[in-house]
Structure 1
Amino acid sequence: MKLKREEFTRDEILTQLDKLEANKAFSRSKINLRLLKFLVESTLNGDDIKEVTIGTEFFGVNYDPIKSDNKVRVYIYHLRKKLEEYYSSAASPDEIIFNITKGQYRVKFERYQKPKAEKSSKNKVLLSAGGVFLFGILLLIGIQEKAGDFWITLMQNELPTTVIFGDYFTIEGPIQTGRKGIVRDYEINSEEDLQTFIDQNPDKEAMADFQASRHHYFNWGAPYCSKTITQFWSQYEYPFDIIQVSEWSISQIENENLVYFGQSKSMGVLKKILKENFPQYSFKSQRLNRRDRITNEDVLYNDYVTKEGKIIDYTVVAKIEMPAGNELRFFLSDQDCGIISTLNYFTNSDSVAAFYERYQLSKEQNFLALFKVTGWKRKSYDMEFILLDKK
């Protein structure tokens, strides 16, 4: 593609923006279009566009690029891919090219021109370029398809993906040593839970000295799953963000795919989403209840530890497509061994293919699967399928 640098009027640039909006590649991806409009307008206004600027002004959050959030970079990555797809297949001669250089956020406006060549040569060049592009697209699709039916619709819906780890809520106050420290109550998982407990127990005078701690922690499952999902998606060069649930905002629920790893008690508002999609389930600390929709009978599944130290964990894996088109995946386990085992299972292409074939699932179908995982010292050595609810 040959580019010619020149000056364009604001109207010419905005007209080109309207043309992109009308193209089906962008009309199906509203978030990419809104981000492109933001970058184009900011460039035309001469604004100093930085990562933190996009994070705060476009996404409307307190964005800290040093702390954790690479959301902006993930969105920009997808936008570049979308622009490349459009210019390689749908662009017409002499239209304005919007170019976002890697590592930058200002938009460069350039003119696309057909290379000068004899007609026969030109046709060969166009055919060759088209063939290379088509081969590249088919190769990418083919590679992604190997990720398995459980992941493929999430990876190909053009929205960025955030992996969320459930972190434990802790309480700061006096401890048994007589000094100040951090304690954990398994039934208190938020500031709201803490305040409710204080209000319901006015006789416990010592509670007045307790407050929510700024320090949260994770179990072994979080670093293990972080490593596993990173290795899995790196095979397909699929970008994603990582955040802890206490720092995630519900305001982004329609703009991204989410993959949650952790305990049901640490899910926060995500528990409501899971409950809305599978209302027959109730989730509590180390136990879940399932009500049969036909008989209305309840079955309770309790995690427990045997006298020998063997862990029995009931683990949930769920796939949900939201009304906005973004997708959610849940790996719920209170004992770590569950999410470790099920993630290993669902990142193995052979086991995913067998699972979908055995239970006659389509790659678009939502479901909740329950597994019984047995382990020693939070390490799994056995996993048993229990049931599947399709939606």
Structure 2
Amino acid sequence: MKDKEYDAIVEKIIKTKSFGRSNTYANLLRYLVASSIKNDVPKETTIAADIFGKTTFDPSQSTLIRVYVYNLRKKLKAYYQNEGRTDAYILRIPKGSYRIEISKKHNNKTSPFTKLYSKPWLATMLILLLASVLTNFYLTGQKKQIGLVSEQGLWKDLLHSKKTTMVVLGDLFIYTERDSTINLDRNIRDPQINSKADFEKSKSNLARPGVDINIPTYSLLIQSSSIWIKNLTEIFFSEDKDYTIRSISRFNPKELQDHDFIVVGMIKTLGIFKAYFKNSDFDFNPEEDELIYNDSTNKKKIRYKPSGNPDSYHTDYGFMAKFPGPNNNTVYLLGGIWDTGATQSLKNFTNHQLLESLTKTMKDKFGELPQYYEVLFEVNGVDRMELSSKIVHLNKIEKTRDVWEVGS
């Protein structure tokens, strides 16, 4: 088949109703076909630069190219189910590849330019590996769902914002011990040490003869992180929305200006975002692992602390807040005292039924959806998995409450 024949097939597809009217997808298809004909399968960074003009694109921090190629596969599938039912040739993009294959219908033989192999992308950080694996698993087994969230609901600001959304995951701080007396290396997780600042304060108490104590270049993610990414991926893919991922240990405060944020994790692991509690009706006490509600109406403090065994039946508390960022951006904080509460807070924000229920509760109480709010949930769970939850406090907060004016 000659190049002109490939071009004719591509242009025929692009002009159809099933493909849609997006110039970006049309240019992407033309680009991938031309690259495949030349036996030059592009990398994500090349696609980002040539099609989207992103010369500093980092595929380990953004799903942009994977989202677009995934949607392009869906457009090709829709075309061959409709206008292209009688076509002699079929274009397809195999999963995990950016190479276009062309084959005759009812014939497994593909054209010569489909025979080269592309190098798989390897993630360097555990959280990004989890994101990639779970995203691919989800996309392989599920059809794209439309309308998982309402454009006028609690996701409104994220869906309409021109800023990229950054998902920040609370990871567990660890430190290392090198015991030269017995030639042993250890990784230590101390629940009372959740940041570099905590470590420096405790370092003198940790010192022992013959033991070197240091901070490693890595941290730990809790098991629930995989659930959080899976749930958020469903929403972002359903809305054709790009997002990036950071762990709190790798978060640069300078990025506060440039993104909207979804921050998920146990409250004690949320780093700079714990500044929220310095100007809230809630306080967080990390020493006692408890949230304290300042009840101004009754002039008393109410303490909420998990109970039971997290590996069996227990009660936890989840916390959800939406508040303004420092640069006309938005922060969604989805946390818990334990990971059970954090998972439930995220679930209330991503599960369609629970999201609709929370939306209705807010409208019933305030007569509208407040722009900013904070919610405390009581969560019952077994083995760190949530079973049920109920709202304990639901407050509307004013935009004038400036989280970032207090030291962080």
Match of 1:251 among 250, 254, 271: 254
Q: Does residue 264 in structure 1 map to residue 256 in structure 2?
A: no
Distance 1:341 1:371 in 2: 8
Which residue pairs with 1:358 in the alignment?
Answer: 364
Distance 1:309 1:387 in 2: 26
Do residues 211 (structure 1) and 219 (structure 2) align?
Answer: no
Q: Equivalent residue for 1:312?
A: 315
Asked if 1:194 is matched to 2:207, the reply is no
Indicate if the aligned counterparts of 2:311 and 2:384 stay in contact, CA closer than 8 A: no
CA separation in 2, counterparts of 1:296 and 1:71?
Answer: 48
What pairs with 1:67-86 in structure 2 (closer than 5 Å)? Answer: 68-70=60-62
Q: Which runs of 5+ in 1 are unaligned?
A: 1-48, 75-102, 104-141
1:156 maps onto 2:148 in alignment: no
User: For 1:177 and 1:327, how far apart are their aligned partners in 2?
Assistant: 51
Shift of residue 220 of structure 1?
1.9
The answer to whether the 8 Å contact 1:313/1:338 transfers is: yes
Shift of 1:316: 0.3
Deviations 1:194-216 (A, max 9, x none): 111124x38x4259511112231
Say whether 1:388 aligns with 2:394: yes
For structure 2, the 5+ residue unaligned runs are 1-44, 67-97, 99-145, 398-408
CA contact (8 A) 2:322 2:373 kept: yes
Q: Using the alignment, how far apart are the partners of 1:244 and 1:331 within structure 2? A: 14
Please tell me whether residue 375 in structure 1 is matched to residue 381 in structure 2: yes
The equivalent of 2:236 in structure 1 is 233
Q: How far 1:161 sits from its partner (Å)? A: 0.3
Q: Distance in 2 between matches of 1:334 and 1:366?
A: 21
Matched, 1:166 2:170: yes
Stretches of 4+ moved more than 4 A in 1? 49-53, 71-74, 142-145, 174-178
Q: Structure 1's 206 and 148: CA in aligned 2 closer, same or farther, altered over 3 A?
A: farther
**TM-aligned CA deviation for residue 308 of structure 1:** 8.7
Q: Is the 8 A contact 1:162 1:240 kept in 2?
A: yes
Q: CA deviation at 1:288?
A: 1.3
Task: Determine if contact 1:245/1:268 at 8 Å carries over to the other structure.
Answer: yes
> What amino acid is aligned across from residue 306 of structure 2 in structure 1?
D
TM-superposed deviation, 1:156: 0.8
CA distance in 1, matches of 2:310, 2:226: 28
Q: Which of 174, 180, 184 is the aligned partner of 1:179?
A: 184
Cα gap change, 1:269/1:252 in structure 2, threshold over 3 Å: closer, same or farther? same
Kept in 2, the 8 Å contact 1:69–1:241? The answer is yes
Contact 1:163 1:242 in 2 (8 A): yes
2:295 aligns to what? 292
1:195 aligned counterpart, secondary structure: helix
> TM-score, with normalisation over the residues of structure 1?
0.60
How many residue pairs get aligned? The number is 267
Percentage of matched positions with identical amino acids: 18
Distance 2:267 2:328 in 1: 24
Displacement after TM superposition at 1:296 (Å): 4.0
Q: 1:71 & 1:227 partners in 2: Cα distance?
A: 14
Partners of 2:174 and 2:279 lie apart in 1 by 29
SS at match of 2:389: strand
Q: State which of 325, 330, 336 in structure 2 corresponds to 1:327.
A: 330
TM-score (normalised: structure 2): 0.58
Note the aligned Cα RMSD (angstroms): 3.4
CA contact (8 A) 1:52 1:64 kept: yes
How many angstroms apart in 1 are the aligned matches of 2:382 and 2:232? Answer: 23
Shift of residue 321, structure 1, vs aligned partner: 2.1
The structural deviation recorded for 1:170 is 0.5
